[in-house]
Structure 1
Amino acid sequence: MKTILLIAHLIAIATGTGMSIANYINIRIAAGEKGERREALAFLRRVLARIADVVILAIWITGIGLWLNLPPAEEPNVWFLVKLAFVVLLTLCHGLARMTAGRMMRTGDQSLFARMELFVSGVWMSALFAIILAVLAFET
């Protein structure tokens, strides 16, 4: 069971990483666009963000499942605790990126692109570190 959970967990984190990198590229492209192209890219970001909500939920559920499958006498190792910090950072950056995107949509303030780019970068960097640390934390 632990191996299946680990596979699902790593797939979820890898999916989140790929999506956040795609979102980062989208933001970089959209910064120079106007009109319908910019709107289409904004629509794509919204779709990716909705899917990312589910992916982050999968990361948390599979991670909690892995933690619950630790032997009763075994406490989480340091790799697990550091990984948990990166997953919290990933979740925080995702939430802040979503809030910034929502604010951009409501106000039309395009100057928030740089802030959103920073938060999306935080998501994919955190996810990359979380993948590495998950492998170290859950050695089979």
Structure 2
Amino acid sequence: MFELLKIAHLIMMAMASGSTLSSYVVLRASVGREDEAGLALARRTLAELTTFAVGFVWISGAALLWSRAHAPEPAVSAWFYAKLAFVALFTLAHAAQRLSGRRLRGGPDRVPARRGTERWASVAWLMSLLAICLAVVSFE
């Protein structure tokens, strides 16, 4: 059961990372075309998928930690705490991306909002990649 949960956890981390990268690509592709409904729908859909994946990452990570609580060897390594820090940073960057993305809907401040959203998407993607790398070694 532990291995299946770990697989699901890693798949969701990869999905969150891919959705974040896709969100960044859609943001870059929609420069100057903010009013097109299809691109706005794609941005919102990718953001919602990423939010779902981030939530599942936290739930499956907590389940993995709980499943190791009564193991004879130490439940977690130092790698786990580093991974936890990067997942927390990924979650914060994703939340900041979502908040700055809301300002893209209209108004005169679209250019600063786009830059902020792109910056947070880049940070979120980098944090998710580092979290994936550490997730591979954190649960042995």
State the one-letter code of the partner of 1:6: K
Matched, 1:48 2:49: no
Deviations 1:58-79 (A, max 9, x none): 1001100111111436242110
2:13 alignment partner in structure 1:
13
Q: Spell out, residue by residue over 1:8-38, the C-alpha distance to the aligned partner (whole angstroms, 9 max, x if none).
A: 00000000111111111111111243643xx
Q: Which residue of 2 aligns with 1:114?
A: 115
Q: Distance in 2 between matches of 1:27 and 1:56?
A: 20
- Aligned equivalent of 2:100: 100
In 2: Cα distance, 1:20 partner to 1:42 partner? 15
Shift of the alpha carbon at 1:104?
Answer: 2.5
Distance 2:87 2:97 in 1: 15
Counterpart secondary structure, 2:15: helix
Extract unaligned runs of 5+ from structure 1.
none
- Greater relative contact order structure (CA < 8 Å, 6+ sep): 1
Deviates more, 1:72-81 or 1:46-55: 72-81
**Aligned residue-pair number:** 137
CA–CA separation in structure 2 for the residues paired with 1:76 and 1:60 = 16
Task: Tell me the SS of whatever aligns to 1:59.
Answer: helix
TM-score, with length taken from structure 2: 0.90
Q: Deviations over 1:38-69 (max 9, x none)?
A: x4212110011111111111100110011111
Equivalent residue, structure 1, for 2:136: 135
What does 1:57-76 correspond to in 2, within 5 Å?
A: 57-72=55-70, 74-76=74-76
Residue 87 of structure 1: aligned partner: 87
Distance across 1 between alignment mates of 2:108 and 2:23: 19
* Equivalent residue, structure 2, for 1:28: 28
Task: Measure the CA separation in 1 of the matches of 2:108 and 2:2.
Answer: 46
